[in-house]
Amino acid sequence: MQEIGERSGHDKSTCQRMAHTLAQLGYLDQCATTRRYALADRVLDLSYAFLRHHPLIERATPILMDLRRSCDARVDLSLFSQASLVYALRLQARAEHYYTNLVGRRIPLFCSAGGRAVLATLTEPEARALVTVEDRRPLTRFTRTGIEDVMTAVAEARRDGYAVAAHEVIEDEIVIAVALTDAARRPFGALHVAGEAGRWGGPDEIARILPGLMRAAALVSGAPA
């Protein structure tokens, strides 16, 4: 309970009431031995309801399936949320670490290909402000954390229309991403294609994948492909 209080900023009695209520509703389980709480499986009902009724996910799923077939690599759709990206749709092409197929992971903008693609659609002051306030702790030994280094990568994505990140979120993985934008050209997410560094990621492979990724992003965004 102390940990819940520290993270939430509420006093112990308030945390106890909230935890008890969530446990009664089935969203928390309490260990009989340690008395510690953990998320219960009913939380998955919320994920299912969100994904099942989200029009973007419904529209994007067949598009991403086609993209996966053409690229022969994992494809992901992420949503721009609270200065980060949240994976909402992930389609593996082959056996990978199990967590790369899980939706719901929140990733930083500053070090991810999708994040930099999103930042590139914003004005330079808007993008810099988001990067400056981010917690830029490295996710791998290759993660670029300096503000100017990140802004250079964002400028390259703005120039090219896509972003590439190598080894920065997961070591030995290269990701190509394109931002998803609405009719006002404001970003609401990104499409990612990810593969093992030893298998692909060179200029020729990027050139092969990029046209299909761009078409898919246009279709998901609702623009003419």
Percentage, residues of the chain above pLDDT 70: 95
User: Residue 56 pLDDT > 50, yes or no?
Assistant: yes
Judge residue 39's burial from the number of C-beta atoms within 10 Å of its C-beta, 0-12 exposed, 13-18 middle, 19 or more buried.
Answer: exposed
Residues in Cβ contact with 151 at an 8 Å cutoff, skipping those fewer than 6 apart: 124, 127, 128, 131
Q: Please, what is the Cα angle at 151 between 146 and 214, to 5 degrees?
A: 130
User: Residue 3 pLDDT > 80, yes or no?
Assistant: no
Q: Is 82 in contact with 107 (CB distance < 8 Å)?
A: no
Residues in Cβ contact with 40 at an 8 Å cutoff, skipping those fewer than 6 apart: 23, 26, 27, 28, 29
**Band of pLDDT at residue 95, cut at 50, 70 and 90:** low
**Mean per-residue pLDDT, 64-87:** 94
Q: What is the pLDDT of residue 164?
A: 95
Q: What is the pLDDT of residue 96?
A: 67
Q: What is the pLDDT of residue 224?
A: 45
Q: What is the pLDDT of residue 169?
A: 94
Interhelix angle 55-71/203-221, nearest 10 degrees: 160
Output the furthest CA–CA distance in the chain (Å, rounded): 60
- For the stretch 36-54, pLDDT in tens is 888 888 888 888 888 888 9
